[in-house]
Structure 1
Amino acid sequence: MSVSTSIKQSNDTEGKPINALRLASIDLLRGLVILIMMLDHVRERFFMHTSTGDPIHDTVAPELYFTRYITHLCAPIFIFLAGISAWLYAHPANGNYRSPTSFLFKRGMVLIFIEVVFYYLLWIDTIATTIWLQVLWAIGVSMICLSLVCHLNYWLIGSIGLAIVFGHNALTPIEFAPDEFGYTLWSILHDQNNIGEVGGLTIRASYPVLPWIGVILLGYFTGPLFEEKITVASRRKTLIITGVICLLTLLILRGFNIYGETLPWSVQDTVIDTVRSFLNFSKYPPSLDYLLITLSTGLFLLAWFDSLRSQNFFLKILKVYGSVPMFAYLVHLYTLLVAYWVLYLFFGPTHGERFGLSGVWQIWVGAIVLTLMLYYPSKLFSSYKHKEKYRKPWLSYL
């Protein structure tokens, strides 16, 4: 879901309402998430010979551990921003409310379709018998759920989101056997399991959606912070204070192993291993601790982007990718697929039956090359999208 930044700009002062810049900060953060996602997918495509696990295995080398850890930011921040964007859609700058129900429902269905069809085709060589319902599925289902509750009282929406995010870890002991009533629904909501078969293909819910529904509701609840009447100083203060509260909550809950993560931490032989133990959180489904550290980081980044008053090339890259997230998502995945098979044809299998990179630094180089390679195509498409989106509504899906 993209938010247009092509809105008439007001004077750029710290104490006055800002319109274009409040939306630019969202696009910048969304663009950063896309770049981090590219890093993760380079790792997935070219470093499959080393499994990271969930939580990350304690045997994983530090450089791979933190490379994987950085990518934890992607899903929580993106879904949180989707909630903010939904609120901005419902409350445009002209002040006339418009229901986001149809908007959210249709986009949610499109994302699920893309997940089931296009993502399956990407990995048909290795997972030909399984359809993995992953991040687009989670975003799509979350959007559909938000479309159903967006007309509830604003404070009730925020309360439900908060209750889900903070309370879902208490549901961990609940389990269903495959032959029990409720197994499929619970697998979709909270447990990572196979949920059925279609045409000989096993369907697996990799991203249990309940916590993500809570995240998008909290994003929607945060939306009014980006109203035109809110000053930059006030918004940044609220973002930073909320981020600090999240971190303090994390330090208390995690520090004393009270609640929020199934796997407790402990002091290890080295400082770096102790830090890794403390920070090692579950993603499938995302634990409370996982969401506290990733969403607080997102809040700090939003506050930082909101403070920027000039652009450099890096920020231009972020803004371009943030304006066409779905286009960038699909194009970079298929670019990596082509790159993989080209390298495989030239060098053959280097790790078992697959081609793989030999060092973690090569993952980073690959992500940088991919970012630069797709920048101008994304920029051209972004310009085309903003020129034609009112005449061609399908462009809004990209």
Structure 2
Amino acid sequence: MDADNTSLSKRILSIDILRGFVMIVMALDHTRDFFHIGAMTADPLNPENTTGLLFFTRWITHFCAPVFVFLSGLSAYLSAQHKTPAQAASFLFKRGLWLIFIEIAVVSLGLTFNLQYNFIILQVIWATGWSMIFLALASRISYQSVVVIGYILVFGHNLFDLLPKPADQTAGLILKVFFTASGTVVPLSSNHLVGIFYAILPWTGIMFLGYGIGAWYKKEYAKELRKRKLLVAGILTILLFITLRLINIYGDPAPRKEYRDFFKNLLSFFNVSKYPPSLQYTAMTLGPALLFLALIEKTANWFTKINAVYGAVPFFYYVIHFYLLHILLVMAFFATGHSEKEIMQVPFLFRPAAFGFGLPAVYLIWICVVASLYLPCRWFKRYKQTHRQWWLSYI
């Protein structure tokens, strides 16, 4: 879901490979939401009642959203090199509005299958859209302003965890929407709700930092220098995560819990807050991503080629995989003997709380869904490479 895939005359494969990898892993979490027996009733990251495999199944998908948003910022910088500042900002602004619309009208429908839109779910596409709008505005000031604002947002937004909540209801809602939302449900009417699960500005900070890294990918930038900078940045970011986690004072709204059991302590160490993305969460996920970018740049094998296919058409893949998963859910719903009386569920239709399978079935469904989307993604990737219609830059 980068800013403008078609504008790049020569794609940077390392970016597509990393983006493709996180898109593949992302589908695992959505498969778990739809098909795992405990997805609606238990927290897979709670060290007190989870298992190692269940924890890992959820935890590994933590890398998806921040890497995705970060690479969107990086790609926005690269695509801007082929436009005037005004053209680049205009495109980002329009793309942001488009993504917000898609989140509400298309992605939310794929998640819920509720044609009446009784529950609208606002997640990563919503946050990405708003972040692109803010990037369009900030980039018109200067590249430096984007980087500075990005650091302020990423490093500073957890200060709101230390401040008292506003007494005014409207001010409190604004604060949640922009900084602290972790599952805010806003009623629009007696039977229509909006779930805001991605606070906007912490994700905007991540996109801005990705935009800043984009300068390292300019054609005239030395590859070896870029690799060294990525390695150093990745290592320092990981060390920042470890340091903040050990100090356990700042950088996450839920301080690390101590247990008498070593395994539970290990899980607790990595159980950081995604909603909103805390500084510790961001450092934990982006640090390895930077190392991955450094190490994968000159690697070419079957694994990287497959990932690059998904990474070249992330928007196409993202939207379709929700509908495919939900169609399979409907089939499984009736195949397991559930009746029409159980269809209406919140937030997902055809998804009763007691429905589901074990993790082996979840992994099998995930692999089948991802594999089934390979050929359509490869076809659309080639289509985008050989066609130049204006609307392709929005898909």
Q: Residues of 2 paired with 1:304 and 1:153: CA distance?
A: 30
Deviation at 1:374, TM superposition (A): 0.8
- Choose the corresponding residue for 2:98, options 104, 110, 113: 110
Which amino acid in the other structure matches residue 271 of structure 2? N
Q: Residues of 2 paired with 1:194 and 1:71: CA distance?
A: 23
Alpha-carbon spacing, 1:119–1:65, altered in 2? closer, same or farther (3 Å): same
**Structure 2: runs of 5 or more not aligned:** 340-349
CA contact (8 A) 1:145 1:213 kept: yes
**Aligned twin of 1:12:** none
CA contact (8 A) 2:44 2:54 kept: no
**Structure 1: runs of 5 or more not aligned:** 9-19
**Aligned twin of 1:15:** none
**Aligned twin of 1:13:** none
**Aligned twin of 1:157:** 146
Q: Residues of 2 paired with 1:44 and 1:288: CA distance?
A: 25
Q: Residues of 2 paired with 1:355 and 1:343: CA distance?
A: 13
1:87 matched to 2:86? The reply is no
Alpha-carbon spacing, 1:275–1:5, altered in 2? closer, same or farther (3 Å): farther
1:184 matched to 2:173? The reply is yes
Find the residue that maps to 1:264 and give its secondary structure: coil
**Aligned twin of 1:14:** none
Deviation at 1:7, TM superposition (A): 6.7
**Aligned twin of 1:202:** 193
CA contact (8 A) 1:54 1:282 kept: no
1:60 matched to 2:57? The reply is no
CA contact (8 A) 2:230 2:294 kept: yes
Q: Residues of 2 paired with 1:85 and 1:198: CA distance?
A: 39
Deviation at 1:6, TM superposition (A): 9.4
Deviation at 1:301, TM superposition (A): 1.4
Question: Residue deviations 1:181-231, cap 9 Å, x none?
Answer: 423321211232234516841222111111001111111111100011122
Alpha-carbon spacing, 1:6–1:185, altered in 2? closer, same or farther (3 Å): closer
Deviation at 1:271, TM superposition (A): 2.6
327-336 vs 339-348, which deviates more? 339-348
CA contact (8 A) 2:122 2:196 kept: yes
Q: Residues of 2 paired with 1:358 and 1:316: CA distance?
A: 32
**Aligned twin of 2:67:** 77
**TM-score (normalised: structure 2):** 0.88
Find the residue that maps to 1:197 and give its secondary structure: strand
Find the residue that maps to 2:259 and give its secondary structure: coil
**Aligned twin of 1:396:** 393
Deviation at 1:369, TM superposition (A): 1.2
**TM-score (normalised: structure 1):** 0.88
Alpha-carbon spacing, 1:99–1:276, altered in 2? closer, same or farther (3 Å): same
CA contact (8 A) 1:188 1:209 kept: yes
Q: Residues of 2 paired with 1:88 and 1:188: CA distance?
A: 29
Alpha-carbon spacing, 1:55–1:288, altered in 2? closer, same or farther (3 Å): farther
CA contact (8 A) 2:186 2:195 kept: yes
Alpha-carbon spacing, 1:6–1:113, altered in 2? closer, same or farther (3 Å): closer
1:101 matched to 2:89? The reply is yes
CA contact (8 A) 1:129 1:202 kept: yes
Deviation at 1:104, TM superposition (A): 0.9
- Choose the corresponding residue for 1:282, options 259, 273, 279: 273
Within a 5 Å distance, the mapping from 1:100-249 to structure 2 comes to 100-124=88-112, 129-172=118-161, 173-177=163-167, 180-192=169-181, 193-197=184-188, 200-249=191-240
What is the CA RMSD across the aligned residues, in angstroms? 2.6
Q: Residues of 2 paired with 1:54 and 1:373: CA distance?
A: 27
Q: Residues of 2 paired with 1:58 and 1:112: CA distance?
A: 37
**Aligned twin of 1:339:** 328
1:265 matched to 2:262? The reply is no
CA contact (8 A) 2:138 2:145 kept: no
Which amino acid in the other structure matches residue 387 of structure 1? T
Which amino acid in the other structure matches residue 242 of structure 1? A
Deviation at 1:169, TM superposition (A): 0.5
Question: Residue deviations 1:266-323, cap 9 Å, x none?
Answer: 4423332111111111111111100000111211111122131x231x2222111111
Which amino acid in the other structure matches residue 326 of structure 1? F
Which amino acid in the other structure matches residue 327 of structure 2? V
1:255 matched to 2:254? The reply is no
Q: Residues of 1 paired with 2:33 and 2:353: CA distance?
A: 12
**Aligned twin of 1:319:** 308
